[in-house]
Amino acid sequence: MKTLFAEIRSAVLVTLMLAVVCCGLYPLAVYGVSQVLYRDKANGSLIVDAKGTVLGSKLIGQPFSADKYFHPRPSAAGNGFDGTSSGGSNLGPTSKKLADSIGQNVADYRKQNGLAADTPVPADAVTASGSGLDPHISPRNAELQASRVAKVRGLAAEKVQELIRENTDAPDLGFLGDPGVNVLRLNLALDQLPGK
């Protein structure tokens, strides 16, 4: 019995000790270092306008549906791009619900962008992302939307292409991951163009 009590005492005390070191000191140390070295990123990479209003985060997608904006991917987070309930559709390959929604999205996408009824549509444009907050669309998806945006805004096609290129995140180190066009940053850049 004596050894059992000694072992329980050891178990309780090491639990408390680990709580102090690993749950207290460690996150505080990371907090201190990252607030000094990467202040902007550690606080959410926020985009703030001239008046100090937070417009969003460079990393978190936002919903857009007007013709003058590039449209993000469909989102299954809450009612769409809800930052408090990230997640995907969790619908599987033989789901009728998923097939119906993809069919609808394909039809909508062709209509919005004036594409022929047999034009193949980029997969990312009609499927929901894993987080529901995906900030990116594929370059081909942006390409297909570019003429619509240029037309509505009365811009030269080259100007829109240039902005797409500027707001494309290339693969890290030149080979890691896939390129993606950041929709929020691209749309803000469009809004900041002089004139219209």
Partner 1 sequence: MQPSGWLQLAVYVVVLAAITKPMGLYLMQVLDAKGRTWLDPVLRPLERLTYWLMGVRADHEQDWKQYTWAMLLFSLVGCLFTYAILRLQHLLPLNPQGFGPVSPDLAFNTAVSFTTNTNWQNYTGESTMSYLSQMVALVIHNFASAATGIAIAAAVVRGLARHTTKLLGNFWVDLVRVSYYLLLPICLVFAVALVSQGMIQNFQPFTKAKLVEPMKIQVEKKNDKGETVKGADGKAVMEEQAVTEQVIPQGPMASQVAIKMLGTNGGGYTNANAAHPFENPTPLSNFLQILSIFAIGSGLTYYLGRMTKSQAHGWAVWATMIVLFLAGALACWWAEAAGNPIHHHLGVIAADGNMEGKEVRFGIFNSALFATITTDASCGAVNCMHDSLTALGGMVPLFNLHLGEVIIGGVGAGLYGMLVFVVLAVFIAGLMVGRTPEYLGKKIQSFDVKMAMLSLLILALTILGFSAWACMSQWGPPDPATHALTDGTNNSGPHGFSEILYAYSSAVANNGSAFAGLSGNTPWYNTTLGLAMLFGRFLMVVPIMALAGSLAQKKLVPASAGTFPVTGFTFVILLLGTVLLIGALNFLPALALGPIVEHFLTAQGKLF
Q: Which of 49, 52, 73 is nearest to 61 (CA)?
A: 73
Q: Among 45, 111, 157, 196, indicate the residue that binds partner 1 (CB under 8 A).
A: 45
Query: b/e map of 89-126 (b: 16 or more CB within 10 Å)?
Result: bebeeeeeebeebbeebbeebbeebebeeeeebbebbb
Residue 196 lies near partner 1 (rule: CB under 8 A) = no
* HSE-up (13 A, CA, CB side) for residue 173: 3
Residue number with CB closer to partner 1 (32 or 158): 32
Smallest separation, CB 146 to partner 1 (Å): 17
149 binds partner 1 (CB under 8 A): no
Give the dihedral of Cα atoms 74, 80, 84, 85; nearest 10 deg: -60
Whole-angstrom distance between the N-terminal and C-terminal Cα of the chain?
A: 83
If one asks whether residue 55 binds partner 1 (CB under 8 A), the answer comes out as yes
Q: What mask, x for binding partner 1 by CB under 8 A, covers residues 58 to 97? A: xxxxxxxxx--x---x---x-xxxxxxxxxxxxxxxxxx-
Q: Binding partner 1 by CB under 8 A: which of 113, 137, 145, 163?
A: 137
Q: Check residue 114 for interaction with partner 1 (CB under 8 A).
A: no
Among 29, 152, 156, 157, binds partner 1 (CB under 8 A): 29
Among 1, 2, 43, 145, binds partner 1 (CB under 8 A): 43
d(CA 26, CA 32): 10
> Counting contacts by CB under 8 A, is residue 180 touching partner 1?
yes
